Amino acid sequence: MTPLPPAPIQPIKLGCIADDFTGATDLANNLVRAGMRVLQTIGVPAGVVDVEVDAVVVALKSRTVAPALAVQQSLQALAWLQTLGARQFYFKYCSTFDSLFAGDVRGNIGPVTEALMDALQTQLTVATPAFPDNGRTVFKGYLFVGDVLLNESGMQNHPLTPMTDPNLVRVLQAQCQRPVGLIDHTVVAGGSQAVQQRIAALRAQGVGVAVLDAVSNQDLLSLTPALAELPLLTGGSGLAIGLPANHGLKPSTQASALPKATGLQAVVCGSCSLASNRQVLDFIRSGRPALTIDPLRIAAGEDVAAQALDWAEPLLTSGPVLLYATADANAVKAVQSQLGVEQAGAMVERTLAAIARGLVQRGVRQLVVAGGETSGACVQALAIEQMRIGPQIDPGVPWCHASTELARSQGLHIALKSGNFGTDDFFTKAFGQLASSPVCV
Ligand code: ADP
C-alpha cells in the first residue's frame, strides 16, 4: 500500500522578522501569551516547518549591520515566510528604536521597512516601538524610556547605536524615502475606528509610514483592530499583544503547550549581570551541585570543558547541576585585564558552548542557558534551527522546545535567559514550572 502523504500544514497567520535574537524571543513570548502558537527560527532555516503554528518569528542579526545587508536578509526572510502562507508580516525592532548609526548611515529600520513595503506592494505601514510593560511609551511621536525622553535615557551614549533625537517622525524620516506621518494620542484615544480613519487620511496624503502613539497596553489593544488589513506592521514587541485577537485567537494555555519534558536537567551560566550573580548564589545556597569555570585555566590551555563534563556526569541523575563562569565585576575586570575583554569573552563562550553540547550528549534534555551572547554560542553549538515557544518562566523568558540532531527523538527543552532577567530563584524554579506546564498531545 502506498503511504499517505503527510497532512498539509495549515498556512500561518503572521510572519515575523526580528532584527536580533533576544528581540525575536521577546516578540514570540508576547504572541504566545496572547494566544498564538509560535515557532522561532534562527535565521532562515534550510529545513521545513513541520509543526502546526499560528506565527513564525525569524530571528536575524541585522540590527547593527549595514542597511544593504539588513535589507537583503530581511527580504530573504520575507520570501521564506511567504512560502508558509502568511498574509500579514511584522518587522520587529528594538523598543529604543536603535539600529546601526555610523557615517552616512542614519539607521536601518527605515530602509528595511521600505524594502518590505516594496516587496509586499503596500502603500502604508505603521511604526511604534511602544512597549508600556517595559516602560517604553510614545506620545506625540516622542519616545520615552521610563520617565525620560529617549535621548536622556543613556541611549544617547550607546557605543554602536546612539539615539540623540527622541522624535520618531524625524528619526524615521531621515531613514525613509517615503513621507513619514503621525497617528497621535488624541486619535488613538478615539479607538480603532478613529485610527482607521486617520490611516485612510494619511494614505490619501501619500504618507508611507505612520508613527503610532501608545502610552498604555490599553492603547495598543484598542488600536490593533484598525491594523487587521495592513500587510505589514512594524514595531517593538508591544504592538504584538493585540494581534492574536485580530486573528480570532484568545489567550489559552494550549498556545504555550510543549511536548512533555523528560531527561536530565542542567544550567549553564555565562552572564555576569547582577541578577545572574544572585541566581548563581541562590542555586548554590539551595545545596545543589555547582561548578565554577575559571577563564584563566582555559587560557592556560586546560581542557576545562572536558573536566567540567566529567564532574557533571555522575551528578546529573540526582537533579539539576550548574556550570557557571559568573563572577562579580572586580573579578571579571581582573580577568579581562590579563586576557583582553574580547578574548576572555570569546574563550568563556566557546567553553560553555562545548559544555552545553556535552551535557546534551550525556542525556540533558532540560537546559537553562544564562547570558545573551552565551545563549547565541550555545544555540549555535547545539545546531538549533527552530524552537517552539512555550510558557513564560519570568517576563521575557519562556521555555522553548527545539529539535536538534543531538537530541533526536524527544528534542530539547531550553530556556535562554538574557543577563538581567529573572528572579533570584530562576535556576531552580524554571524546572519546577516546566514539570507543571501544559503538555501538547
Ligand atoms: P549578559 O546577557 O549578562 O550580557 P552575555 O553572555 O551576553 O551575558 O555576556 C557575558 C560575557 O562575559 C560573555 O562573553 C562571557 O563569555 C563573558 N564572561 C563570563 N564570565 C566571565 C568571567 N569570569 N570573566 C570574563 N568574562 C566572562
Check whether residue 226 and residue 267 sit in a common domain: no
Check whether residue 245 and residue 274 sit in a common domain: no
Q: Which residue has the cell 574563550?
A: 347
User: In this structure, is residue 125 part of a structural domain?
Assistant: yes
Q: Where are the alpha helices (DSSP H) in 224-328?
A: 243-246, 274-285, 295-299, 304-312
Q: H/E element holding 284?
A: helix 274-285
pLDDT in tens, 51-104: 899 999 999 989 888 999 999 999 999 999 999 999 999 999 998 898 887 777
Check whether residue 203 and residue 265 sit in a common domain: no
Q: Is 6 exposed, middle or buried (0-12, 13-18, 19+ CB in 10 A)?
A: exposed
pLDDT in tens, 112-130: 999 999 999 999 999 999 9
User: In this structure, is residue 3 part of a structural domain?
Assistant: no
CATH of the domain at 299: 3.40.980.20
Q: CA nearest 332: which of 293, 369, 280? A: 293
Nearest CA to ligand 1 atom 25: 332
Check whether residue 54 and residue 74 sit in a common domain: yes
In short, whether 339's Cβ falls inside 6 Å of ligand 1 is no
Check whether residue 245 and residue 261 sit in a common domain: no
Check whether residue 246 and residue 324 sit in a common domain: no
**HSE value, Cβ hemisphere, 13 Å, CA-based, for 31:** 29
DSSP letter, residue 326: -
Q: H/E element holding 196?
A: helix 192-204
Last residue of a domain, one of 192, 221, 250: 250
Looking at the CA of residue 339, tell me the nearest atom of ligand 1: 25
Q: What is the pLDDT of residue 2?
A: 47
* Number of C-beta neighbours around residue 428 at 10 A: 19
In short, whether 419's Cβ falls inside 6 Å of ligand 1 is yes
CA of 401 to the centre of ligand 1 (A): 24
Mean pLDDT of 274-278: 93
Sign of CA pseudo-dihedral 268, 269, 275, 280: positive
In short, whether 344's Cβ falls inside 6 Å of ligand 1 is yes
Q: Which residue has the cell 485567537?
A: 249
In short, whether 270's Cβ falls inside 6 Å of ligand 1 is yes
The grid coordinates listed for 245 are 485577537
Contact 402, 255 (CB under 8 A): no
User: In this structure, is residue 1 part of a structural domain?
Assistant: no
Q: Give me the numbers of helices (H) and strands (E) for the chain, helices first please.
A: 15, 18
Check whether residue 203 and residue 284 sit in a common domain: no
Residue 47 pLDDT exceeds 80: no
Check whether residue 274 and residue 246 sit in a common domain: no
Q: What is the pLDDT of residue 146?
A: 93
User: In this structure, is residue 441 part of a structural domain?
Assistant: no
Check whether residue 371 and residue 418 sit in a common domain: yes
Looking at the CA of residue 418, tell me the nearest atom of ligand 1: 2
Q: CA nearest 229: which of 251, 247, 207, 206? A: 247
Number of domains observed in the structure of the chain: 2
The range of the structural domain enclosing residue 344 comes to 257-435
* Predicted confidence band of residue 226 (pLDDT cuts 50, 70, 90): very high
- Output Rg (C-alpha) for the chain, integer angstroms: 22
Length of the chain: 441
- The beta-strand segments (E) located in 270-334 are 290-292, 321-324
Identity at 274, one-letter amino acid code: L
In short, whether 418's Cβ falls inside 6 Å of ligand 1 is yes
Check whether residue 63 and residue 154 sit in a common domain: yes
In short, whether 372's Cβ falls inside 6 Å of ligand 1 is yes
Residue 159 pLDDT exceeds 50: yes
User: In this structure, is residue 311 part of a structural domain?
Assistant: yes
CATH of the domain at 147: 3.40.50.10840
User: In this structure, is residue 148 part of a structural domain?
Assistant: yes
pLDDT in tens, 105-115: 889 999 999 99
